Amino acid sequence: MPTFSERLRDLREEAGLKQEDVAKKLNISTSAYGYYEQGRNEPSLDALYKLIQIFDASADYLIGTSDKPNASRLVKLTDDLTLSKDEVQIIKALKEYPEFIIELANNPKKKNIASLYRFWNFIQHEIELSK
């Protein structure tokens, strides 16, 4: 499993940043930041929080408990509706089929949604059978 130091280096390189650039953003010396990448030192919680923001990565990814680099950001639409970043992307993709969205919006009965879900399950089952 990749270590914190390896993931930190990979994220920095993917972002096209030098160690000096990240150190400036953290308000620490370049050598202090270099120690993070060498595994010789670990950042404070404040520095970890800043690294998460700099690289748009989750703490779980950085410390190695998840292989999903990006933090799961939530978008609160109303008091009772919050969507993840992935869910928002799905809705954006569905907007490419406006007639489908209009039909669901005009007829949002639970039975219509349930029918759509059963159809999706049927397709998933057929895909599994064809493997």
Sign of CA dihedral 86, 90, 95, 96: positive
**pLDDT of amino acid 21:** 97
* Tens-place pLDDT, residues 69-114: 775 566 778 888 888 777 888 888 888 988 888 888 887 777 778 8
CB count, 10 Å around CB of 22?
Answer: 23
User: Are residues 19 and 12 in contact, defined by beta-carbon separation less than 8 angstroms?
Assistant: yes
Q: Is residue 115 over pLDDT 80? A: yes
Q: What pLDDT score was predicted for residue 89?
A: 85
**DSSP strand E in 43-86: where?**
74-78, 81-84
Q: How confident is the model at residue 64 (pLDDT cuts 50, 70, 90)?
A: confident
**pLDDT-above-90 percentage for the chain:** 44
Residue 5's pLDDT band (boundaries 50, 70, 90)?
very high
pLDDT band at 60 (very low <50, low <70, confident <90, very high): confident
Nearest to 28 by CA among 53, 51, 58: 51
Model's pTM, two decimal places? Answer: 0.56
How long is the chain?
A: 131
13 vs 59, residue with greater confidence? 13
Supply the Cα-derived Rg of the chain in whole angstroms. 22
Dig out the tokens for 26 from the structure: 């953290």
Q: Which domains does the chain have, with CATH numbers?
A: 4-63 (1.10.260.40), 74-130 (no CATH)
- CA atoms of 110 and 105, how far apart (whole Å): 12
The token pair that represents 113 in the structure block: 């949604």
